Amino acid sequence: MKIICRIGFLVLALVVSLSAIASAYQPVDVSIRFNGGGSHNKVYVGRDNIMEILVRNDVAVRAFIIGFQCTSSSGSFSWVTPYGTKPVGTPCVKEHGDVIGAFDYTDGIATYLHLPDTILVGGVANTRPYYLPPHANSTVFASMKLRIPAGQTASPSGFCVDNIFVPPAGAWKVVDGGNTGFPPTFNGQENTSTGIPDAPPMCFDIVSQSFIRGDADDNMKIDLADLTRLLQYMFYDGPAPKYPESADVNSDGRLNIADVIFLIRYLALGGPEPAW
């Protein structure tokens, strides 16, 4: 059984005509990652997963109109609420930094949530000081949480996110500071038009493991807060991690100072990532 979720990004107002321009290279790229990327760029069964939408733009951007389709080969999934800031009634989407915040200062962001199928987010900056500034590296501009229920099976490349046209207005377009509309690439892959985005989907493994080693505070990322939680748990009678296996950072079946040293080396010295 496949469950489909459509995510569209619609602008609130556009006063310019958007042309469909295809080329081998576009100065804006959109991509997706899960749980901070790296070795955790996968979907975990039985827990909340953070799905992030990233943008790399070589030019200032005035507006986005982009859509996605998500499919899971393992069965059903759902968006987790409350999360983030939008919409006010049922928080589901979180904004990040100046990437999406650039639009907030003028017309604002409108988010419409229609669970389980559709999320619509829109924004346009009508004055240049509030355009989305260039980002040389792919940067998170919005995120959401989704959950695949416990008991579903693991599936290699089983969760896919595709770039699509969302009728009636959700073309796969961005508008740059010069009011030119064009289809952004998707994960570096060309789209031939704004109405038929045909770059291949991004697919992620669905895994049955419910914990991440080193993620002692269970927020789907490994940082200094996890080191603090681990030290408190091991030496100061602090609360145990939700998934005790996450504290076994070096995966040797024991919980001791070696796990703390392993995590310090990873966080501060560029050491190896906590074992799978």
How far is residue 170's CA from residue 7's CA, in Å, rounded to a whole number? 10
Q: What is the pLDDT of residue 61?
A: 86
Q: Which residue has the tokens 């392993």?
A: 262
Q: Which residue has the tokens 């982009």?
A: 66
Q: What is the pLDDT of residue 183?
A: 93
CA distances from 264 to 212, 226, 246 (A): 16, 10, 15
Query: Digits of tens for pLDDT over the chain (276 positions)?
Result: 444 455 444 332 332 333 334 444 689 999 999 988 877 899 988 888 899 989 999 998 888 888 888 999 998 898 888 888 776 777 788 877 654 444 443 444 444 555 566 666 666 776 777 788 888 899 888 888 888 888 889 999 999 999 988 777 778 888 887 778 899 999 999 998 888 899 999 999 998 876 778 888 887 778 888 888 888 888 888 888 877 788 888 888 788 888 888 888 888 888 877 865
How far is residue 117's CA from residue 3's CA, in Å, rounded to a whole number? 9
Q: Can you spell out the DSSP letters for 164-222?
A: E-BTTTB-SEEEETTS-EEPPEETTB--S-SSS--SPPEEEEEE-----TT-TT-SSS-
CATH class held by domain 3-207? mainly beta
How far is residue 60's CA from residue 44's CA, in Å, rounded to a whole number? 35
Q: What is the pLDDT of residue 162?
A: 92
Count of beta carbons in the 10 Å neighbourhood of residue 274: 22
Residue 61's nearest CA partner among 172, 153, 181 is 181
- List the chain domain ranges: 3-207, 224-269
